[in-house]
Structure 1
């Protein structure tokens, strides 16, 4: 795992963990990165000093306030809404049109689809984390 400090085109700074440098590059090229503050998809790596721990330092560092807040948001969303996966845009439209039961949902959408939902008045908001994909 590797931690990167990231910045968006609106000068927001945040950190995120990636499986590897190659994993970051793959997600970046696919357009799957977004700012944790404003949702902008124009994200890049910022300069970051290496984190070196001495042998007497504990291996697990305590979570920062931001990490704790994001974990709480994730827990609230996952506990109080239905994961609809890659069908998020379609399901949000159905709910907005009254063609599906009113309920809280979360999932994944392409940036263009999310922008179109907002333009069409469908109430949606980006989450500051990527959903854990459910396989069953």
Structure 2
């Protein structure tokens, strides 16, 4: 996962996570990224410093109420986006093994070569997910299933 600092044509800055630079390019080219402040689709990367994994993360840990996650509000005309989110969710479920609450430990074991390399899914707290990312474990959030309206 790659976190990009983004800016819209109205100078609103925000962050978003992408599976790869190619994923970012695809989403930008297909107008799938909108500014959370003004809904502009004219988005570009903002200047940002590279993130470096730190072992002393406990010293700088943010309180859970300070951490924000990118979200989107899609309207009834966004049926295609809802369909794509459901399709992506189904593909992830079909291609992974559910390890439930053991996800953080099992993901770390796979990353460190202590368990067979395989695609897994499960549950992790925000703190557990952050720790995995900071340690270089390539995890990504599962897309939330939209309601059945679209």
TM-score normalised by structure 1 residue count: 0.51
Match of 2:126 among 100, 111, 114: 111
How many correspondences in the alignment?
A: 84
Pairing 1:12–2:40 present: no
Question: Which residue, 67, 72, 82 being the options, matches 1:67?
Answer: 82
Higher relative contact order (CA 8 A, sep 6+): 2
Q: Distance in 2 between matches of 1:78 and 1:42?
A: 22
State the Cα deviation string for residues 44-78 of structure 1 (Å, max 9, x = none): xx8xxxxxxxxxxxxxx897011100111011011
Unmatched tracts of structure 2, length 5 or more: 1-12, 15-34, 38-63, 146-150
55, 75, 99: which one pairs with 2:114? 99
Distance 1:62 1:42 in 2: 21
2: CA distance between counterparts of 1:127 and 1:109?
11
Compared with structure 1, are the counterparts of its residues 76 and 91 closer, same or farther at alpha carbon in structure 2 (3 Å cutoff)? Answer: same
> Which of structure 1's runs of 4+ aligned residues deviate more than 2 A?
9-13, 40-43
Residue 129 (str. 1) matches residue 144 (str. 2): yes
Normalising by structure 2, we get a TM-score of 0.47
Shift of 1:12: 3.1
SS of equivalent residue, structure 2 residue 137? coil
Map of 1:41 onto structure 2 = 69
SS at match of 1:106: strand
> 2-side partners of 1:72 and 1:122: how far apart?
25
